[in-house]
Amino acid sequence: MNLKLLVKGGRVVDPSTGMDQICDVLVDNGRIAAVGESLPTPEEHCSVLDATGLVVAPGLVDLHVHLREPGFEDKETIATGCAAAARGGVTTLVAMPNTRPATDCPEMVARVKEKAASTGINVYPAAAVTVGQKGEALTDFQALWQAGVPALTDDGVPIQNLALLRQAMQQARTLGLPILDHCEDRDMVRNYAVNEGVISQQLGIPGRPAIAEELQVMRDVMLAKDTGARVHICHISTAGTVEIIRRAKADGVAVTCETCPQYFTLTEEEVLRQGTMARVNPPLRTHADREAILKGLKNGTIDAIVTDHAPHCAWEKAQDLQQAPSGMVGLETSLGLSLTYLYHAGHMSLLDVINRMSTAPAALLRLPKGTLQVGQHADMVIFDLDERWTVDREAFASKGRNTPFHGFQLQGKVKYTISMGQIIYQED
């Protein structure tokens, strides 16, 4: 039996068409069948969802998620990570390859896809650029492309061998695959816990300098220009990086970038208040950097908002600041944070926020997502734009509790998440 779903009376916000109006959305066989005012309810086999007073938008597309499985199931599993995604309105995600073993061959890509198939979330595994993410030998790009990967990345292990990276970009270009680039000079940052500056001096520990990010961004922008490759800079955090990318785009370089909610909401001072919960790579930066990230989002220099969802065990984050792993979870808070600190704060329109979280990231990797146009997959997030709520990490679906946003008051709450026409999350 082909069940239909009619979402009635919501404020439909679709950046792919510029739509922002009260209307209905009809779903049939997992796809958008019609969008318009006062759509008639099909006579048979149709459920009706009253979205009056709610926003209906394309499901969020998160380009940077660590699901941890296989190899680190004590931190997260594909099932728990996808449940967290559903609660956060994320219907599509790109899974990073730093698993054990690494996702560096078609067999591992197939393994992740198979595990994710029953979750309701569209999981696209990114594959490693180098075998085992060791930075020594390139993976089989052709085979990985045929296996359906949307991008290549060594993620948190930046490639230091420039000849190898240039070769990777040349090969990726011929296949039309983008390279997702974590940009930090490893010799400069080592395993340092915080930004180099006032806070590192106050704590008496070495820090990760902004220049370590900016030098690699400049390096890889130049390589992108040289090779013609599509290069996407991950989780940018500094004012200098924003300016480098702005200039590169103006010069016609095929470079795009992303940032995360922590970089437009928090600063390095959060480490003094929350210790390891505020330890991330790249680190939280200065007030000036945060303002530059906001400006980059507003003027379009920054293309996408992602989470870099990185769950860790409680005992790991309970270690000393210099020993604890970096990372925070974000799938369940990203929309609320973005609405609170970007839309409600008056920095960006609702269309622009949804564009950065759904339509634009889907377009970056050429995924058939991020739209409510007729004929496309019926992936939607339905949320109350104004409802206030308090972040409670103990209520997370993710195994990870490592968030600096516990106790934060946010405005904007997910009510339903629909993937391929099926309701996969409904607020209790």
Distance of CA 290 to the CA centre of its chain: 18
> CA-based Rg of the chain, rounded to a whole angstrom?
21
Is 28 a catalytic site residue?
A: no
CB distance 387 to 377 below 8 Å: no
Coil, strand or helix at 345? coil
CB distance 139 to 325 below 8 Å: no
Question: Which is the catalytic residue, given 289, 303, 308, 379?
Answer: 308
> Token pair for residue 316?
């790991």
Coil, strand or helix at 123? strand
CB distance 232 to 182 below 8 Å: no
127 in the Ramachandran plot: left (φ > 0), alpha (ψ -120 to 50) or beta?
beta
Question: Beta strand pairing status for 409-419 and 422-426?
Answer: antiparallel
Coil, strand or helix at 371? coil
Taken as a whole, the chain contains a residue count of 428
CB atoms near residue 117 (< 10 Å): 11
Exposed e or buried b for every residue in 365-398, given b needs 16+ CB within 10 A? bebebbbbeeeebbbbbbbbbebeeebebeebbb
Catalytic positions are: 308
